[in-house]
Amino acid sequence: MKAVRTILVAWIALLALLALTIAASFAPLGPALPFISYAIAIAKTAIVVWIFMELRVRDGMQRIALATGFAWLAILFILLFADELTRAWPR
């Protein structure tokens, strides 16, 4: 029963974060909006991965297996934006 309650609490938290992300997109946040949007998306992902995907009860190897995808993605993002954002710099 405890597991069921945890899942329901996680579900309510996810819907609350969804409402927050929609509300934030109408707030006058300017250039800060993407950072807030993605912070909320990462929080939602953490809830899904930790509770729904049960990584909280899995061993380290399994956590690393899923984290690998995100780690490689981070490398792609960092190298790509290192190029993209510095292209206009004077030579």
Partner 1 sequence: MTEVRRLQPQFPTLERQRDADHFGMLIFLSTEVLIFGGLFVALFVLRAQHSAEYAKSSMEMHYWLGGINTAVLLTSSAIVALMVEAVKSGSARLAKWLLLAAIALGLAFVAIKFTEYALEYRDGVVPLLSPAHLRPGAGTLFMDLYFVATGLHALHVFGGMTLLACLIWPFGRARRDTSAVFAGNAALYWHLVDVIWIFLYPTLYLAR
Q: Where on the chain is the footprint of partner 1 (CB under 8 A)? A: 3-4, 7-8, 10-11, 14-15, 18, 21-22, 24-25, 33-34, 37-38, 40-41, 44-45, 48-49, 51-54, 58-59, 61-62, 65-66, 68-70, 72-73, 76-77, 80-81, 84-85
CB of 55 to partner 1, least distance (A): 9
Alpha-carbon distance 81 to 31, whole Å? 17
CB of 90 to partner 1, least distance (A): 19
Please choose, from the candidates 43, 46, 63, the residue with its C-alpha nearest in 3D space to the C-alpha of residue 55.
Answer: 63
- Cα dihedral 78, 47, 55, 2, rounded to 10, equals 170
Give helix then strand counts, H and E, for the chain: 3, 0
- Is the CB of 59 or the CB of 89 nearer to partner 1? 59
